[in-house]
């Protein structure tokens, strides 16, 4: 799990860092299987003050569709962002996003690709990436998923 944190990942599975076929993790997977857990999906949020909140959801099912993973990841990030907000003082100044930055992140929250967002908004795909990255940076998020979770937590989308 520390590998995921070192890489600032917001989404990963236990099996990403503890491969099932690696003998050194045999006891680990045996213990999880006793609890009927075949793998776990994790959502981790990172705060500006070094705070980390991580949610690990163990499931009997091992494989998920991209839509299922996206939904679980976003729900997990919304929860971890909310948990961090309960332990940290509120920001001194509200983050000010442009309309395009907010619109772009709202469409990211719906699972749209940069190309799909560019078609919907009638702008270039590179411009979408520019708006999403600006919003991510302003929000202090490590990636676009965490940026969306921060907006959800602040009830801005």
72-122 per-position pLDDT tens digit: 888 898 899 888 888 766 655 677 899 999 999 999 988 899 999 999 999
SS3 44: strand
Digit-coded pLDDT (tens) for 6-61: 788 888 888 888 888 899 998 988 998 898 998 888 989 888 777 888 888 888 87
Nearest to 69 by CA among 46, 45, 40, 47: 40
Instruction: Please measure the distance between the N-terminal and C-terminal CA atoms of the chain and give it in whole angstroms.
Output: 30
Residue 134: band (very low, low, confident or very high) from pLDDT cuts 50, 70, 90? very high
At 53 the pLDDT is 87
At 103 the pLDDT is 93
Q: What is the DSSP string of 6-57?
A: HTT-SEEEHHHHS-TT-GGGHHHHHHHHHTT-SEEEEEEEE-TTS-EEEEEE
């Amino acid at each position: 799990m520390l590998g995921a944190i070192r890489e600032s990942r917001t989404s990963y599975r236990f099996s990403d860092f503890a491969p099932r076929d690696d003998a050194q993790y045999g006891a680990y997977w045996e213990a999880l299987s006793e609890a009927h857990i075949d793998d776990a999906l994790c959502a981790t949020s990172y705060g500006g003050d070094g705070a980390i909140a991580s949610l690990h959801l163990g499931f009997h099912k091992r494989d998920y569709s991209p839509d299922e993973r996206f939904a679980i990841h976003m729900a997990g990030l919304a929860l971890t962002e909310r948990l961090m907000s309960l332990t940290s003082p509120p920001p001194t100044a509200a983050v000010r996003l442009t309309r395009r930055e907010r619109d772009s992140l709202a469409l990211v929250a719906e699972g749209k690709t940069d190309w799909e967002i560019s078609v919907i908004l009638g702008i270039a795909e590179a411009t979408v990436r520019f708006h999403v990255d600006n919003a991510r940076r302003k929000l202090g998020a490590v990636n676009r998923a965490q940026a969306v979770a921060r907006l959800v937590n602040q009830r801005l989308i």
